[in-house]
């Protein structure tokens, strides 16, 4: 079925006879595969008598070779999948099988993509970036301080390079444009964080998505913001370069060296917010972050510090 998709990806018309010959199957078998493509991947395929079959929109599929060619410096190994449950889960499975870090896992779609706090990450086929970088951490807890915020800066700079000047950060793991989510980050760790461990840096970026009824929050995409289709291979290469820069800076100097830049790009700096943890809620004003990446809030005139993976930050209605 995916072989058929690769024949159609140019967006031109292809006759059923030619497709059948290329695949070594009958025209009726081609028709069945086309129906499966539409049903399983949500693709629109035009069927015109006398001309054949055409994808409504041409596809640029992910390619290890194209990602490597677009990366100026030595690139990390890239594992590309057509369909997978979760790039984070696959990265952890690979390291469990002995694949040596660092390496990247990307996929055309995820069947069980997830965000923070167990939320679903909607992952349509061949539209967005589902990306996981697996790292080995030898430096103990210091190398983990503010790590998700460091990743956020790399994602932000890759998006701004596309011309999305209004993109900014929201503590702890989101990138927004006009309060609409364009990217999210999910870190997962295995091993002993005080000694040697592996951490997977998961990044989801809405790239060419234009419709997504399943998303339960305000969202946007690079295509909606720029008005043009984005080459995901180029964006993956750019993201890798930005991650390499910020991760090397973080490793050599610690998060404290990056703290000011992160605060400068925090969209909710100085805003009235509600910090939610389960059924509990704390209201305050965002003062910034500390040298470990924890959130600093002014609560009833007193500065308090909050950190933890299950916290959610929201603007107050009266902000």
Band the pLDDT of 10: cuts 50, 70, 90: confident
> Can you give the pLDDT at residue 292?
93
pLDDT tens digits for range 157-205 = 999 999 999 999 999 999 999 999 999 999 999 988 878 899 999 999 9
Q: What is the mean pLDDT of the chain?
A: 90
Q: Tell the CATH topology of 2-55.
A: Arc Repressor Mutant, subunit A (1.10.10)
Q: Which residues line the annotated binding site?
A: 86-88, 110, 114-116, 181
Segment 213-234 shows an average pLDDT of: 90
How many angstroms separate the CA atoms of 170 and 247, rounded? 19
Name the residue ranges covered by the structural domains of the chain: 2-55, 64-263, 269-315
User: Check: CATH 3.30.930.10 for 64-263?
Assistant: yes
pLDDT tens digits for range 238-265 = 999 999 999 999 999 999 999 999 999 9
Band the pLDDT of 73: cuts 50, 70, 90: confident
Please answer whether residues 205 and 155 qualify as being in contact, where contact means their C-beta atoms are separated by less than 8 angstroms: yes
Catalytically annotated residues: 116, 181, 314
How many angstroms separate the CA atoms of 82 and 257, rounded? 39
Phi, psi values for residue 149, rounded to 5°: -70, -35
Return the CATH number of the domain spanning residue range 269-315. Answer: 2.30.30.100
Which residues contact residue 114 at a Cβ distance below 8 angstroms, ignoring those fewer than 6 apart?
A: 86, 88, 120, 121, 186
Would the pLDDT of 291 be above 70?
yes
Handedness of CA 205, 180, 220, 277 (dihedral sign): positive
Q: Please tell me the pTM assigned to this model.
A: 0.91
CA distances from 103 to 14, 87, 132, 147, 211 (A): 37, 12, 8, 17, 31
> Can you give the pLDDT at residue 9?
84
Task: Render the burial of 275-295: b for 16+ CB within 10 Å, e for the rest.
Answer: beeeeeeeebbbbbbbebbbb
- How large a percentage of the chain has pLDDT more than 90? 66
How many angstroms separate the CA atoms of 111 and 123, rounded? 7
Please answer whether residues 288 and 296 qualify as being in contact, where contact means their C-beta atoms are separated by less than 8 angstroms: yes
How many angstroms separate the CA atoms of 158 and 183, rounded? 11
> Can you give the pLDDT at residue 309?
66
Say which range, 138-142, 196-200, 293-297, 313-317, has the weakest mean pLDDT. Answer: 138-142
Q: Which residues line the annotated binding site for biotin?
A: 86-88, 110, 114-116, 181
> Can you give the pLDDT at residue 212?
72
Band the pLDDT of 118: cuts 50, 70, 90: low
> Can you give the pLDDT at residue 116?
57
Tokens of 133: 């970088």
Better pLDDT: 309 or 187: 187
pLDDT tens digits for range 92-113 = 999 999 999 999 999 999 988 7
Segment 267-279 shows an average pLDDT of: 91
Could you count the other beta carbons within 10 Å of the beta carbon of residue 297?
20
pLDDT tens digits for range 24-61 = 998 888 898 889 888 888 788 998 888 989 988 888 89
> Can you give the pLDDT at residue 196?
85
């Amino acid at each position: 079925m995916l072989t058929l998709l690769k024949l159609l990806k140019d967006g031109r018309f292809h006759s059923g006879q030619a497709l059948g010959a290329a695949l070594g199957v009958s025209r009726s078998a081609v028709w069945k595969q086309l129906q499966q493509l539409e049903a399983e991947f949500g693709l629109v395929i035009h069927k015109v008598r006398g001309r054949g079959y055409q994808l409504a929109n041409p596809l640029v599929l992910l390619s290890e070779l194209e990602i490597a060619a677009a990366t100026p410096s030595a690139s990390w190994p890239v594992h590309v999948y057509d369909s997978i449950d979760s790039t984070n889960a696959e990265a952890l499975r690979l390291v469990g099988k002995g694949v040596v870090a660092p390496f990247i896992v990307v996929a055309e779609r995820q069947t069980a993509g997830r965000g923070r706090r167990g939320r679903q990450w909607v992952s349509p086929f061949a539209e967005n970036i589902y990306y996981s970088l697996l790292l080995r951490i030898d430096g103990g807890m210091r190398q983990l301080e503010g790590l998700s915020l460091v990743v956020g800066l790399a994602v932000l700079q890759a998006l701004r390079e596309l011309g999305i000047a209004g993109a900014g950060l929201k503590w702890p793991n989101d990138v927004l444009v006009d309060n609409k989510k364009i990217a999210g980050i999910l870190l997962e760790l295995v091993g002993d964080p005080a000694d040697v461990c592996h951490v997977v840096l998961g990044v989801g970026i809405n790239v060419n998505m234009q419709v997504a009824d399943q998303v339960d929050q305000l969202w946007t995409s690079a295509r909606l913001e720029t008005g043009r289709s984005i080459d995901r291979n180029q964006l993956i290469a750019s993201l890798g370069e930005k991650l390499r820069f910020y991760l090397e800076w973080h490793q050599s100097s610690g998060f404290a060296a990056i703290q000011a830049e992160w605060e400068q790009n925090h969209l909710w700096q100085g805003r009235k917010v509600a910090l939610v943890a389960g059924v509990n809620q704390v209201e305050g004003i965002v003062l910034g972050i500390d040298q470990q990446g924890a959130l600093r809030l002014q609560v009833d005139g007193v500065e308090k510090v909050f950190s933890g993976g299950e916290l959610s930050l929201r603007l107050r209605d009266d902000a």
